[in-house]
Amino acid sequence: MIQIQNSLQAADLQPLLQKFWELSGQKIKNIEQHYATSQGSPVFTVKGQYTTRGWTEWTQGFHFGSAILQFDATGEIEFLEAGRQKTVAVMAPHVSHIGVHDHGFNNVSTYGNLLRLMYEGKSPYNEWEKNFYELALKISGAVQASRWTTTKNGGFIHSFNGPHSLFVDTIRSCRALMVSHQLGHVLQAENDIKINLLERALQHCQATAQYSVYYGEGRDSYDLWGRTAHESIFNTRDGNYRAPNSQQGYTGFSTWTRGLAWAMCGFAEELEFLQTISDTELLHFGGRSEIEAYLLKAAQATCDFYLAHTPVDGIPYWDTGAPKLHKLGNYLDQPADPFNNQEPVDASAAAIGAQGLLRLGKFLKNKGQTEAGNTYWQAGLTVVQTLLQEPYLSTDPHHQGILLHSVYHWPNGWDYVPEGSTIPYGESSMWGDYHIREVALYLHKLNNQEPYYTFYNCVQ
């Protein structure tokens, strides 16, 4: 399990963060100069060069959002201009995209970050530009909420697999609904029926907590505290849950670690968001105590599972049930080895999960639960410290990625395997690069006494 460095402080990481942002800017410029956007959205690297492949262009917001985060950290205006120009020119189809569950990825990372910068005083205030970003975020949240499957006791935003499919990833797309709601928007259906977006977001969170996360309560033979299933399958005729499944993990009965990380980060940031909603409004959806209870249980369970099932340096292998892990011996008692010849690690899961650990730790400390909060906070710092150094930090100027040893879809064989190896290593992904930038910005802002970084800072 992770060896938590309890004496580590966020300020101790500042020299690593400074080096990181210097390298990050070089990578963004390299992609801008050499990647042909006509290919579509860059997804992952092959021999260090970004290429595209996948079901949908779910990484486009991470591509342009990375430039926006770079500007936020460094103040270099060229990155703001690039992020703004590309968002306006390219992102509109993502706002009205009815076929995906990724609105929180694509649109909050672009329109949301641009609006947040305006409210934080980092970019010039312009009324029409503000209205443009707000309209995009309003529509995005409503379109995302329209992908709805009703269950016995609520419902969920279904994945691109169809109305039977609940993805654990989508917990982070609830941001789109929450922002849209806070901007005063609703989803309007037949006969002008108004559908409350906060209610839909909370129902999706509850469904994810109930079906995607396990709590060691005897649900099946593989029921462990905090493990997650990538996909949950439902009978759409009667709304009953049927079975766990996995698209990118090993099985429905093992834990795909990037899915686990999405849950860690999503539940933690939604706990933070909940503090901005009045008790009166929450009464309509069960009340603060009930809602906070299932969000907190899921957040703590998933973070605990990560701590217990990740090697000492905080970097997980791609799936905790991967079939050849046993050949690595006591792999949890030593640092992860991205160059082994049995199973790949996934540094992108670490980047996403680290943010969840930090946010949950801060949330609990703010609630007076200092001991538990410190455990998660220090674990998050431990993971980030590992990621900001080699072999995970990409220092090669010819490599377009910033975070190395990311895995996309190992079961499908989509990842590049270097000659002489039997597993992928040394490559980057656009979601991994974005999320290491996001957690780096989170700490950068804390170290510099800037406004606390949240997705809902784009709502005034």
SS3 call for 197: helix
Domain edges within the chain: 10-458
The residue among 305, 323, 218, 317 whose CA lies nearest residue 260 is 305
Query: pLDDT of 381-420, one tens digit each?
Result: 999 999 999 999 999 999 999 999 999 999 999 999 999 9
Give every CB contact of residue 390 below 8 A, 6+ residues apart in sequence.
none
Q: What confidence tier does 20 reach under pLDDT thresholds 50, 70, 90?
A: very high
Residue type (1 letter), 272: E
pLDDT higher than threshold 80 for residue 186? yes
DSSP states along 355-421: HHHHHHHHHHHHTT-HHHHHHHHHHHHHHHHHHTSTTTB---TT---SB-S--S-TTTT-S---TT-
What's the whole-number mean pLDDT along residues 351-361? 98
Level-2 CATH architecture, domain 10-458: Alpha/alpha barrel (1.50)
Query: pLDDT of 187-230, one tens digit each?
Result: 999 999 999 999 999 999 999 999 999 999 999 999 999 999 99
Alpha carbon distance 207, 99 (integer Å): 20
| Helix (H), strand (E) at residue 156 | strand 154-157
Alpha carbon distance 113, 106 (integer Å): 11
Q: Which two tokens stand for residue 216?
A: 């060691």
Query: If you search the block for the tokens 């990311």, which residue do you land on?
Result: 406
The annotation places the binding site for substrate at 102, 258, 262
Q: What confidence tier does 40 reach under pLDDT thresholds 50, 70, 90?
A: confident
The residue among 111, 116, 79, 76 whose CA lies nearest residue 95 is 111
3-state SS, 236-247, equals: CCCCCEEEEECC
- Mean of pLDDT over the chain: 97
Task: Provide the 10 A C-beta neighbour count for residue 66.
Answer: 27
149-187: burial string, b at 16+ Cβ within 10 Å, e else: bebeebbbbbbeeeebbbbbbbbbbbbbbbbbbbbebbb
Q: Which residues are bridge partners to 45 per DSSP?
A: 50
The annotation places the binding site at 102, 258, 262
Q: What confidence tier does 38 reach under pLDDT thresholds 50, 70, 90?
A: confident
SS3 call for 230: coil
pLDDT higher than threshold 90 for residue 244? yes
Q: What confidence tier does 37 reach under pLDDT thresholds 50, 70, 90?
A: confident
Backbone angles phi, psi at 243, to 5 degrees: -170, 155
